[in-house]
Amino acid sequence: MPTFSVNGMNCGHCTKTITNAILAVDPSAKVETDIPSKTVKVSSEKSIEILSSTISEAGYEVTATGS
Ligand SMILES: [Cu+2]
């Protein structure tokens, strides 16, 4: 499952913003966020590139991408 390290994801508002942005491009996506490790795991049919740019467009910097 693609995992993104997201700089600036500090609170529940951030996680909600990011989750909603991903759900806007893929309503069937499953999103797991973890604030202490600043990671977002996404189960989605969309590509890593699309998911990464979606997080960026929501206003957060993706510093690393893994799977
Ligand atoms: Cu926040």
Q: What per-residue confidence (pLDDT) applies to 13?
A: 98
pLDDT in tens, 8-60: 999 999 999 999 999 999 999 999 999 999 999 999 999 999 999 999 999 99
For ligand 1, the distance from its centroid to the CA atom of residue 65, given in whole angstroms, is 20
Tell me the residues surrounding ligand 1 (ion) with CB < 5 Å.
10-11, 13-14
Q: In what helix (H) or strand (E) does residue 4 lie, and over which residues does it extend?
A: strand 3-7
Going from the N-terminus, what domains does the chain have, and what CATH number goes with each?
Answer: 3-66 (3.30.70.100)
pLDDT at 67: 81
Distance 17 CA to ligand 1 centre (A): 8
Dist. CA 18 → ligand 1 center (Å): 10
Whole-number pLDDT of residue 27: 98
Q: Are 6 and 39 in contact (CB under 8 A)?
A: yes
State the virtual CA torsion across 67, 30, 46, 14 in degrees, nearest 10.
-80
Centroid of ligand 1 to alpha carbon of 46 (angstroms): 25
pLDDT tens for 38-49 read 999 999 999 999
